[in-house]
Chains A and B, each alone.
Chain A
């Protein structure tokens, strides 16, 4: 439990100047990292060292550093968000690594997520999918009292389970097909489980799936890697629900 010091680590990291650059791995060494430090704190320390040495620091996405904003990514030692379960990279701590270890860090790899620089990727494709229908069409004002529509406890809980998605993209990075099905199904399920969301459920499923296909995400072949790597434990039963909603939508056309 007490923090120890990792005397030396080798950090093998993907460096890519911009979207046009081909990119390559570089290896750096770093010393005296506390096991109580977070993975991103380790990268902060490495970056300060690079800056002082006159090198360009490693660009990586991060913001809240408490596992909820979904900004941080990083494919660490072959796993999205690294070697721990139910955490984002910012919650990953150095106690999960051993002294002297070589840690390999890559960006999310998917056609729909082009690299911007180093470990930073462009996830605008996720935005586009949500804009195509990931909402309930109500304007501000003129809505009924919040308790006017009772929602069964279980339905609200299931909706919340799906709504917990943080949009980080780990599911796409984990999938050999770079499929976005877990992400899309989480939003479709979140809204379809609620009476308010049922009204336009069909249109929503149809439009979001069409947009997903258009943006170059792969198909789902039910390997389940997405569920394993999802930091919020979003279940693949949501994908089954999406398939059902989508089929219903297509049959009713």
Chain B
């Protein structure tokens, strides 16, 4: 029997959330005023939670490392947000969104959580419209929709190619309103460096003021971590430069189990890597696959000429183009899910059909859509993305196809949470990308925004009450206790340790080295030998880092290198756990592809008999092997089938 209690409510799937809400405790308005909640991170999850909790009457303290909460990386999401509104009359429903998400996640997520996500999705759109989010509309004044990968209906709402920005501004503005009212205290340029546990309950955090370097203590009745994913372990990713896994990692070290760390999403349509001076990768929205066709040359000699720059894409005759997604997956074509599209691109490039100098790019061609719809329509749909592409690559995508290649994009894994979004530490919650909850082994496009806002607006504000109802007699957290003292001391001594190494190489040197190992052995395609090698290499680079890193500047001043050093130090540990988890999961599912587990025609092969569980890892101390706890996944409403998009 697992020690993990997911607290999934009894009853039929469609009634679980209603029944649960009816059964959980509620805190009275008078008592809410006495309760403090810390929210770390101000992306879609954090900002929506902070605003909603403050509206309910709780005292909220919100933290972000950026200079403004509006800059959290949710802002960069481009394409859209899913919701089961069925505004298009195309037979969409809560069940269909649930089913698509479960199937898209390759049957490695919890039925009850995913159903709840689909169930609250229509409310999100209502909420955002009421806040003034300028979604795309039809001429009749009603909301427009587009399609995304892995689904057969149009349920994605969008605000041009800036949907994440507009949704985040909506949540940010709701939070600003509460800051103005004094219900939210905002701490920008503050980074959480530890969570403080008192008598088994999360009672506060230790944070560094990034401007003054001061280490500060903050107490509360509950702590909510909404700090996003850990994709930057790969160095090159579509994440923001500052995105990091440290908050979730500190929680892990304090007892919050970490689930499915090996599940990371590789997005198929990113601008390819150029040379060796690159610092980050830029995503080109999945929505482009609505109108763009993906291809490589059929003939290797054409691909070679393209790589040498002797010919251009427009010189390749129609019959000599291999639209490999349409060829392999006729029913979904260019709109197969991200993991499938990414592997197919890698397969073509590995076979020698890559089209850029490095041989690591395929074409995404809008010629056909422009012929069919006209340039103006394409410009209206994707203008800002085309402009961004041209600024970065100096190529006009209206005239020449885009070059794209897969890149690390999103972490499905994260802190293990129960149905209430509480981690294995009482009073410590994790929402949005930071938790593992809803996307299984692969996230569908336009579902990250949905999950962040579902958690923050409509799930956590209910479930946190169930815990806090038992805390109404607990006085405000005293930050002068030995627990806070000890946590602060640990944070300070780690910072001093990093600073005093005074080695010879900058942080980025080690981060790049780690990223290369992760990409080579824990990336799109994994095998036992490579994963074992990765663990070995990560440990070696980590040892070198702790002996030879050079952190310049001062401790009591703005010091971006010091911030980076702390985050990279954690990335080594996260990378190692990812490799261990990938090693344990000897099956291919979603974004996790084990070369040992494939079908005869080379597609990913799940092993439901042995691996229909959540891998949840428990920290056992520095240098100790973590312990794996399995949460068995039970499917009562869908039949597990091998995913087919053919």
Contact = CB atoms under 8 A, between A and B. Distances in A.
Contact of A68 (B130, B162, B179, B559): B162
A34 interface: yes
B174 A135 contact: yes
A123 to B, nearest CB: 6
A157 to B, nearest CB: 8
Interface residues of A, number: 84
A123 B67 contact: yes
Contact of A61 (B67, B141, B557): B67
A64 B75 contact: yes
Contact of B127 (A86, A134, A143): A143
B173 A134 contact: yes
Interface stretch (B337-345, B409-417, B504-512, B567-575): B504-512
Given A65-B280, A66-B283, A153-B141, A146 B85 contact: yes
B391 interface: yes
**Secondary structure type dominating chain A contacts:** loop
Contact of B174 (A67, A124, A140, A164): A140
Contact of A52 (B143, B461, B504): B504
Contacts, number: 224
B130 A196 contact: yes
Contact of A71 (B52, B66, B122, B140): B66
B504 A150 contact: no
B289 interface: no
A2 B394 CA distance: 9
A34 B557 contact: no
Contact of B173 (A33, A61, A130, A139): A130
A123 B189 CA distance: 11
B457 interface: yes
Give the residue among B129, B506, B558 with the most A Cβ atoms within 10 A.
Answer: B129
B67 A44 contact: no
A132 interface: yes
A55 B561 CA distance: 12
A44 B508 CA distance: 9
B389 to A, nearest CB: 11
Contacts of B557: 17-18, 117
A223 B445 CA distance: 43
B628 interface: no
A183 to B, nearest CB: 12
B267 interface: no
Interface residues of B, number: 86
A151 interface: yes
B140 A150 contact: yes
B234 to A, nearest CB: 15
Contacts of A214: none
A1 B76 CA distance: 27
A69 B73 contact: yes
A149 B174 contact: no
A69 B76 contact: yes
Contact of B137 (A2, A86, A135, A153): A153
A124 B71 CA distance: 13
A48 B275 contact: no
Interface stretch (A87-95, A172-180, A235-243, A244-252): A87-95
Contacts of A156: 134-137
Contacts of A143: 126-127, 129-130
A36 interface: yes
Given A57-B553, A122-B67, A86 B387 contact: yes
Given A52-B550, A146-B126, A38 B279 contact: yes
Interface string A110-121: 000000110010
A210 interface: no
A185 interface: no
Contacts of A139: 52, 55
Nearest to B173: A135
A167 interface: yes
Contact of A146 (B143, B211, B283): B143
Interface string A217-245: 00000000000000000000000000000
Contacts of A131: 176-177, 179-180
Contact of B130 (A37, A136, A153): A136
B388 interface: yes
A207 to B, nearest CB: 9
Contacts of B368: none
Nearest to A149: B129
A69 B162 contact: no
Interface string A1-19: 1110000000000000110
A104 interface: no
Contacts of A126: 68
A55 B553 CA distance: 8
A253 interface: no
A98 B294 CA distance: 36
A62 B394 contact: no
B142 interface: yes
B278 A41 contact: yes
A132 B71 contact: no
Given A123-B67, A143-B126, A135 B176 contact: yes
Nearest to A191: B132
A167 B138 CA distance: 28
Contacts of B165: 68, 164, 166
A182 interface: no
B274 interface: yes
A213 interface: no
A140 B218 CA distance: 27
A137 B134 contact: no
A149 B143 CA distance: 10
Interface string B149-193: 000000000011010111001000110110110000010100000
A33 B137 CA distance: 44
B134 A163 contact: yes
A127 interface: yes
B200 interface: no
Contacts of A37: 275, 277-278
A103 interface: no
Contact of A136 (B51, B173, B458, B509): B173
Interface in A70-108: 70-71, 84, 86-87, 91, 93, 95
A147 B141 CA distance: 8
Given A41-B279, A57-B552, A63-B242, A147 B162 contact: no
B282 to A, nearest CB: 5
Given A70-B71, A140-B174, A166-B165, 9 more contacts: A36-B277, A57-B553, A64-B73, A64-B75, A69-B73, A140-B51, A147-B87, A153-B138, A156-B134
Q: Which are the 9 A-B pairs with shortest beta-carbon distances? A: A150-B141, A135-B173, A143-B130, A160-B134, A146-B129, A140-B52, A159-B134, A69-B71, A63-B240
7 contacts: A3-B275, A68-B75, A127-B186, A141-B457, A160-B159, A167-B68, A190-B134
